[in-house]
Chains A and B, each alone.
Chain A
Amino acid sequence: GAVVSQHPSWVICKSGTSVKIECRSLDFQATTMFWYRQFPKQSLMLMATSNEGSKATYEQGVEKDKFLINHASLTLSTLTVTSAHPEDSSFYICSARDVFGPRDTEAFFGQGTRLTVV
Chain B
Amino acid sequence: AQKITQTQPGMFVQEKEAVTLDCTYDTSDQSYGLFWYKQPSSGEMIFLIYQGSYDEQNATEGRYSLNFQKARKSANLVISASQLGDSAMYFCAMRVPMYSGGGADGLTFGKGTHLIIQP
Contacts and interface: CB of A to CB of B under 8 A. Distances in A.
A32 B105 contact: yes
Interface residues of B, number: 23
Contacts of B95: 107
A67 interface: no
Contacts of B109: 43-45
Contacts of B37: 109
B38 to A, nearest CB: 11
Interface in A20-79: 32, 34, 36, 38, 42-46, 49, 57, 59
Contacts of B11: none
Interface of B: 33, 35, 37, 42-45, 47, 50, 52, 91, 93, 95, 103-112
29 contacts: A34-B105, A43-B109, A43-B110, A43-B111, A44-B91, A45-B109, A46-B106, A46-B107, A46-B108, A49-B104, A57-B104, A59-B103, A59-B104, A91-B43, A93-B45, A95-B106, A105-B52, A106-B35, A106-B47, A106-B50, A107-B95, A107-B107, A109-B44, A109-B45, A111-B42, A111-B43, A112-B44, A112-B45, A114-B43
Given A49-B104, A49-B105, 16 more contacts: A34-B107, A38-B43, A43-B110, A43-B111, A44-B93, A46-B104, A57-B104, A59-B104, A95-B45, A105-B33, A106-B50, A107-B35, A107-B107, A109-B45, A111-B43, A112-B43
